[in-house]
């Protein structure tokens, strides 16, 4: 039986599994993210880390098991609202032609985000903490480096004030200084409210820096 909603973790997955054409990539996985958790997801390439993040946010459906949000199962009709609360940030975020500002405003085109505010001041403040000036908002997405694209993807998610961030190698294309800034921003974001993060990384030093809570190793889960 699920715990009362006011006592439930933000996100849980019970005995979930995903199957590819050649068999199960992983199965019987349990995930439990409570407020304040800074969980980490590790495993060699090809073990399905990105697939797990996509499954946890409702972009893909598990072949077995079920995902719950605050004690309630996530049903098909709930997925758009659920994905606005549990956000997956890809290693290479999708950027549209146009400026950084236009890319930050992209989610506001969707009905589920109608009325939510992503003001220039908030975006500029976040970008400043990540080492970018306000002029960065006017830069064309087509000329951004891989690391700058990752910064845009992260800021775009944070502006929508999710409950859970699912980060797929969010600093893979960043130098050490920018990586430190991203870690600080995300960890302070978690500590500032009823929030959690699940962070995927191949960098064991980073895993040790960011982790406070569960650890999932897909290298031993298949």
CATH number at 74 reads 3.40.50.300
Instruction: Tell me the backbone φ, ψ of residue 198, rounded to 5 degrees.
Output: -120, 115
* pLDDT of 5 above 50: no
144, 155 contact by CB (below 8 A): no
CA-closest candidate to residue 178, choices 138, 150, 199:
150
| Separation of alpha carbons 106 and 104, rounded Å | 6
Reduce the DSSP state of residue 50 to 3 states and report it. Answer: helix
Give 7's pLDDT tier (boundaries 50, 70, 90).
Answer: low
Structural domains in the chain (count): 1
195, 164 contact by CB (below 8 A): yes
Helix (H) / strand (E) element for 23: namely: strand 23-33
Least confident of 91-95, 108-112, 151-155: 108-112
135, 59 contact by CB (below 8 A): no
Q: What is the CA radius of gyration of the chain?
A: 17
* pLDDT of 1 above 60: no
Range of the domain at 197: 5-220
Query: What pTM was estimated for this model as a whole?
Result: 0.91
| Separation of alpha carbons 61 and 148, rounded Å | 31
**Beta-sheet strands, E only, within the chain:** 11-20, 23-33, 38-42, 64-69, 72-73, 86-89, 164-168, 196-200, 215-217
Residue 42 neighbours by CB under 8 Å, 6+ apart: 49, 200, 201, 202, 207, 215, 216, 217, 218, 219
* pLDDT of 17 above 80: yes
Average pLDDT over residues 121-128: 90
Q: Residue 117: is it exposed, middle or buried by C-beta count within 10 angstroms (0-12/13-18/19+)?
A: exposed
């Amino acid at each position: 039986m699920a715990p009362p909603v006011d006592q439930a973790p933000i996100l849980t997955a019970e005995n979930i599994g995903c199957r590819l054409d050649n068999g199960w990539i992983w199965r019987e996985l349990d995930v439990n993210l409570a407020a304040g958790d800074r969980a980490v997801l590790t495993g060699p390439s090809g073990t399905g880390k990105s697939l797990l993040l996509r499954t946890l946010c409702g972009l893909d459906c598990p072949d077995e098991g079920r995902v719950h949000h605050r004690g309630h199962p996530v049903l098909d009709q709930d997925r758009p609202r659920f994905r606005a609360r549990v956000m997956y940030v890809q290693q290479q975020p999708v950027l549209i032609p146009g400026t950084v500002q236009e890319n930050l405003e992209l989610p506001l085109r969707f009905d589920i985000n109608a009325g939510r505010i992503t003001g220039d001041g908030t975006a500029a403040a976040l970008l400043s903490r990540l080492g970018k000036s306000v002029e960065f908002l006017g830069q064309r997405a087509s000329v951004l480096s891989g690391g700058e694209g990752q910064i845009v993807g992260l800021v775009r998610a944070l502006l929508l004030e999710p409950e859970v961030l699912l980060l797929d190698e969010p600093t893979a294309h960043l130098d050490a200084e920018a990586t430190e800034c991203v870690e600080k921003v995300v960890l302070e974001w978690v500590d500032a409210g009823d929030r959690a993060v699940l962070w995927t990384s191949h960098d064991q030093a980073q895993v040790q820096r960011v982790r406070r809570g569960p650890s999932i190793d897909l290298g031993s889960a298949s």
